[in-house]
Chains A and B, each alone.
Chain A
Amino acid sequence: MTSKNKEILVSVKNLKKYFSVGSKSSLKAVDDVSFDIFKGETLGLVGESGCGKSTCGRTMLRVYNPTGGSIEYNGKSVHKLRGGELKAYNKKAQMIFQDPYASLNPRMLVSNIISEGIDIHELYKGKERQDRIYELLELVGLNKEHSNRFAHEFSGGQRQRIGIARALAVNPEFIVCDEPISALDVSVQAQVVNLLQDLQQQYGLTYLFIAHDLSMVRYISDRVAVMYLGAIAEITTSNELYTNPLHPYTQALLSSIPIPDPRIEQSRKRIVLEGEVPSPINPPPGCKFVARCSKAKDECREQRPELKEIKPGHFVACHLVK
């Protein structure tokens, strides 16, 4: 995959998002993160809970204002958009949420949930609007009759489909999928992932796929970024990441995932990380991973490694990888 000649859709530049906790300390949820998302691709963003992956996705959709840095969509900084341009961006970028139980308003009919965006952007009116709702429902594998029901009448997988229909209603170009499948059962996860892939092919959508399930991320993503404690540790194509992980954290993360095959699973050697993710409040200088890294050197404690391109398209932030 040659990423050079592809068109950049979203460009995250030195993004920082700090939350203040108390008067003197700040929680550095996202600390100087940069990456690009190309048009039509799926970028997977993985990491453990608290690593800042959701904050990153939300900041891209202007849920948060960044503390520093910028996010450019088609070359324009999204946090500087105003008026008509802002409305246009809100239409182009949509989000699918993690919890299909909490993200649908229990007092609204499915048809109103889906059409809210259509009404705000005044895309369709009257009969056209009704047809569009039916079309969307059928697109995500539900049917017309479902439009006059409430969210509680649906199962988790069906609710997630409603969430997807809502995101698609305004013809977006870019969708942030924030752990869209982690609340679903295994057999239903595959249904939703297949649906997301079909829609991507049909409409040429660009996804930022946030998840902690690395095997699913590998399956759906073209490129994968691994985050640790607010910083990107490694970013490359998904096959390269899984066959040739360079950052010690990526290696440990990959080896901790159990493989559903008893012989492989019971015979393989595991890198079990000691300890837990340290607090992102006032993190120490130097590499974020240094406290749990078995290969850490003095250099790692003093200076934070930059994200360097080791091979074409393979970026790693580690002093030890050269």
Chain B
Amino acid sequence: MSKKLLEIKDLYVSFDTYAGEIQAVRGVSFELNKGETLAIVGESGCGKSVTAKSIMRLNPEPPARFKGGAILFNDEDIIKKTNSEMRAIRGHKIGMIFQDPMTSLNPTMTVGKQIIEGLRKHKKLSYKEAKKIAVDMLKLVQIPNAEERFNEYPHQFSGGMRQRAMIAIALVCNPELLIADEPTTALDVTIQAQILELMKDLQSKINTSIIMITHDLGVVANIAQRVIVMYGGVIVEQGITDDIYYRSRHPYTWGLQNSVPRLDIVKEETRLTSIEGTPPDLFAPPSGCPFADRCEYTMKICRAKMPPFFEINEGHTSACWLNHPDSPKVDNPSRVRETGNSTENEVKKNDQQE
């Protein structure tokens, strides 16, 4: 069976600012197995990046502050590590790909030098050995003329190539965990397709675990095995990808799915269902469900008490009072179910044809 690589237990992260304390992450718990791809979805400000950066301890502390919980990476608590211990982990055991390849590479260093930096530090390799590995890595991420490109600066690379270089930097030490924070958001769709193919390909070759942070449900469907949906600093639903897409039991997930038009469905004359209102203020997060103000099924209890995780299925949990046995029965809004059904039929059809 798969082994646990990362376990986050009841994590609380706050930012102390002049205006007060921003409670960015409020009690997040999840696990990640070896070789698994987990996607974290949510809107900006929902705490997904803060959670991911906490794993690398990349949130500047202060203002960031761990208020509670534990991040167990290979059974060792990341939060208790000193700075020098963290330096041995960053780039070595855990690699990270950032959203914006333009600003996250060092413009004054050649791309090659940025790749071998980690190798020299963590693996104590000579320049020559490190260069050989780095050039191979550049070839692996499909950069043409890797030997010449090794000596070029980031500004000589295009956006897609910079993102490839960043993947090379993140993966060159064979990390056990790769955190990708919106790796394709800044790229064009044709380049996005290339990068996603590349990441899947590399994962099968290197067998690293991936945490993919994104707001694009299409990208998630492409790459993830498991999905976590975050809202207002908490996890609202998690489960395997099929459960989240076809059998979701949380109104926020329904809202997300219904607010994006689908390319594969003939143009509907209906309006898009938008989620009215704006996300909660994390200076003073609500004591009940953070989604209560925007939810069309809000009940009294939603505002009074934070819903616990209801287990829907094995590994599929939803933090919504609608799943309580005493609550009124609400089905997925039609569109989600329809698409789920239609695909199931399609899959059956394909099976028969085969």
Interface centre among B188, B222, B266, B275 (most CB of A within 10 A): B188
Contact of A253 among B190, B196, B266 (CB under 8 A): B190
Complex formed: what's the CA distance from A299 to B212 in Å?
44
Is A321 interfacial (CB 8 A cutoff)? no
Residues of A within 8 A of B261 (CB): 215-216, 218-219
Contact A219 B272 (CB under 8 A): yes
Complex formed: what's the CA distance from A255 to B190 in Å?
9
Contact A260 B220 (CB under 8 A): yes
Residues of B within 8 A of A193 (CB): 272, 274
Is B262 interfacial (CB 8 A cutoff)? yes
Residues of B within 8 A of A261 (CB): 221, 245, 262, 264, 339, 343
Is A194 interfacial (CB 8 A cutoff)? yes
Contact B274 A190 (CB under 8 A): yes
Residues of A within 8 A of B197 (CB): 270, 272
Contact B218 A267 (CB under 8 A): no
Contact of A187 among B196, B259, B267 (CB under 8 A): B259
Indicate whether A270 sits within 8 Å of B193 (C-beta atoms), given known contacts A190-B272, A218-B267, A258-B221: yes
Residues of B within 8 A of A128 (CB): none
A255 CB → nearest B CB, Å: 8
Is A282 interfacial (CB 8 A cutoff)? no
Interface residues on B, range: 35 or more
Complex formed: what's the CA distance from A243 to B197 in Å?
24
Contact B215 A186 (CB under 8 A): yes
Residues of B within 8 A of A155 (CB): 278
Residues of A within 8 A of B241 (CB): 262
Complex formed: what's the CA distance from A263 to B339 in Å?
11
Contact of A273 among B194, B196, B339 (CB under 8 A): B194
Is A115 interfacial (CB 8 A cutoff)? no
Interface centre among B242, B263, B271 (most CB of A within 10 A): B263
Is A238 interfacial (CB 8 A cutoff)? yes
Indicate whether A215 sits within 8 Å of B262 (C-beta atoms), given known contacts A185-B43, A256-B193: yes
Is B347 interfacial (CB 8 A cutoff)? yes
Is B158 interfacial (CB 8 A cutoff)? yes
Is A157 interfacial (CB 8 A cutoff)? yes
Closest 8 CB pairs of A and B: A258-B218, A190-B274, A219-B261, A260-B217, A256-B193, A190-B259, A187-B275, A48-B188
Q: Identify the A interface with B (CB < 8 A).
A: 48-49, 155, 157-158, 185-191, 193-194, 197, 212, 214-216, 218-219, 238-239, 242-243, 252-267, 270, 272-273, 276-277
Q: Identify the B interface with A (CB < 8 A).
A: 43-44, 158-161, 188-194, 196-197, 215-222, 241-242, 245, 255-257, 259-264, 266-268, 271-276, 278, 339, 343-344, 346-347, 350
